[in-house]
Structure 1
Amino acid sequence: MSSPLISGIQQVGVGVQNVPEAWQWYRRVLGFDVPVFDDKAEAPLMTPYTGGKVHQRHAALAINMAGGGGLEIWSFTSRTSQPANFKLELGDLGINAVRFKAPDVKMAHEWVKSKSKEAVGPLSSLPEGEGFWGNDPYGNIFQITSDTSWFQKTGHAVGGVAGVVVGVSDVDKSLAFYRNLLEPMEIVYDKTGVFEDLPTSISGQRFRRVLLRKHFTPEGAFAKLLGNIQIELIQALDRTPKKLFENRYWGDCGYIHLCFDTLDMATLKTKIQAQGYPFTVDSEKSFGMESAAGRFAYVEDPDGTLIELVETHKLPILKKIGWFLDIQKRKTNKPLPDWMLKLLGLSRVKD
């Protein structure tokens, strides 16, 4: 079996109108309190998705040291980030929700209810296990579920990003795309029907739901921190779904992209382009984000949902003393030692 080309979910991009305000909420309620970068600059390579113009932006990448992917909290500064002009319904095309993981789902449920003023759904049985749905203050849906991959105990009731729920128009087409991108992976369930756990305002609506899981493998510098990948594909069967970013820019309000930590960008590019999925953006060389750097690229899933791929080249381990890790100089693809990753937590922001 060939080596995996993706080690985990690096982050999910969430477009907001005020980065500091949104990051404070994600810190206090969901535990994303360790900054990797906090950067204000132009986004010159993203003009295919920003109306052909270079726009300025503010982006902060924050992680939860319990394990899981991070959140890239993002806002335009050269214009006002625009919300959708309709209410998202599950099954609309794009990233419908982020799946956060929790070591104890019941404890996480009580924590989020006590800390958030937003709507929090009841604990309910999911097609696999137990979990609940909630909303952030910015109109985004999230789900909290269990997971088996953890980096360390932090005292947070909620961990990092375990995955996403993606609305698709044809599960089978999307399944082929994500399988090709993430192999090896497994199909955990494939179910069709009316699901009582889903927070939808359309009663009796039928869906097809498929959960994909890529288990942690000890390959990639950040594999232990990132853990498993869970992606649920959801197809609305009784209506024509809307496209979440129709007539809007990448970076506008909502979940703007799903980003995978990539181990060998050149090989991955050859592989997925051979399957008919070209890179729509490719930095081709290292691109800096404050004190982090790497090669990044974008590819679209069959419905145009943006998938970001990042091959990390440089990461700040301890910014206070100017210690940066040059990933390109490593002669091994094994995970970084736990003690080194734990040093990231020393830059934790406390409210």
Structure 2
Amino acid sequence: MIRGIHHVALATSDIDRLVNFYREGFGFEVVATMGWEKGSTRIDTIVGLKDSSCRQVMMKAGNTHIEIFQYITPEGKPVDPKRPPSDHGYTHFCVDVTDIDYEYERMKTLGMTFNCPPPTREELGNGSIRATYGRDPEGNLIELQEILDPNHAFYLDV
């Protein structure tokens, strides 16, 4: 039985920078620091790499986790930090917030860049979700979302 999504994983060239970003920006806490050295046939088989080695951190906030990898070998290749969300593959993850204006401003001070500010309530008209996309220091897309109607199907009751 599938119970739900447990975590989203990100790869980075600077694990300390990304861990600090998610800790300060979103309140994620480190729950495990792991990794492996070259020579783990089992892990190489799982990840589909040869002679891999890695630093790894699992972080938790609320009911979800983010897993961050920094591969030492083979060294990862950077992606286009302005990769459009229409490209195939993972496009973004979404963080539910209760005050999107506050979080938008706070995340900007931490270096997150946004496509646009969240729409105002007036701009939404009858809409019930205020949202905007931004990028973390690696260029990964993150959606900030505030659901205004507690009866909306997407509303999280936490």
TM-score between both structures, scaled by the size of structure 1: 0.38
Amino acid at match of 2:115: T
Shift of 1:162: 2.1
Instruction: Give me the whole-angstrom Cα distance separating, in 2, the residues matched to 1:293 and 1:209.
Output: 38
Q: Which of 197, 205, 209 is residue 56 of structure 2 equivalent to?
A: 209
The residue aligned with 1:158 is 2
Q: Is the radius of gyration larger for structure 1 or structure 2? A: 1
Q: How far apart are the structure 2 equivalents of 1:192 and 1:335?
A: 34
Q: Residue 232 of structure 1 aligns with which residue?
A: 67
Tell me how far apart the structure 1 counterparts of residues 52 and 65 of structure 2 sit (CA, whole Å): 24
Report matched runs for 1:57-206 at 5 Å.
Answer: 157-183=1-27, 185-194=28-37, 196-197=42-43, 199-206=46-53
* 2:147 pairs with one of 268, 289, 312: 312
SS in structure 1 of the partner of residue 73 of structure 2: coil
Residue 233 and residue 316 in structure 1: after superposition, are their counterparts in 2 closer, same or farther (change >3 A)?
same
- Equivalent residues in 2 for 1:283-322, closer than 5 Å: 283-286=118-121, 293-314=128-149, 316-317=152-153
Change (3 A) 1:240 1:307: same
Matched letter for residue 96 of structure 2: D
Deviation at 1:171, TM superposition (A): 0.4
Structure 2: any 5+ residue segments left out of the alignment?
Answer: none
Q: CA RMSD in A?
A: 2.9
Letter in 1 for 2:90: Y
Structure 1 gaps of 5+ residues are 1-156, 217-227, 318-324, 328-333, 337-351
The TM-score normalised by the length of structure 2 is: 0.79
Q: Secondary structure at the match of 1:192?
A: strand
- Tell me the distance in 1 between the aligned counterparts of 2:145 and 2:49: 37
Equivalent pairs, count: 151
Kept in 1, the 8 Å contact 2:53–2:74? The answer is no
Counterpart CA distance in 2 for 1:243 and 1:313 is: 37
Query: In structure 2, what residue type is equivalent to 1:240?
Result: E
Check whether the contact 1:285–1:294 (CA below 8 A) recurs between aligned residues: no
Q: Secondary structure at 1:173's aligned position in 2?
A: helix
Identity over aligned pairs, percent: 25
- How far did residue 248 of structure 1 move? 5.2
Structure-1 separation of matches of 2:147 and 2:104: 15
8 Å CA contact retained: 1:261, 1:310: yes
Deviation at 1:272? 1.8
CA-to-aligned-CA distance 1:275-298 (integer Å, 9 cap, x gap): 23233333322576xx96311112
CA distance in 2, matches of 1:275, 1:252: 26
Deviations 1:91-138 (A, max 9, x none): xxxxxxxxxxxxxxxxxxxxxxxxxxxxxxxxxxxxxxxxxxxxxxxx
Asked if 1:335 is matched to 2:157, the reply is yes
Q: Specify the SS of the correspondent of 1:273.
A: helix
Deviation, structure 1 residue 266: 1.4
* Residue number in structure 2 paired with 1:4: none
Residues 16-95 of structure 1: matches in 2 within 5 Å? none
SS in 1 for 2:22: helix
Structure 1 counterpart SS, 2:90: strand
Of the candidates 234, 244, 250, which is equivalent to residue 85 of structure 2?
250
Distance 1:294 1:242, change over 3 A: same
Displacement of 1:164 in angstroms is 0.5
- Aligned-partner Cα distance in 1 for 2:115–2:135: 8
Deviations 1:57-91 (A, max 9, x none): xxxxxxxxxxxxxxxxxxxxxxxxxxxxxxxxxxx
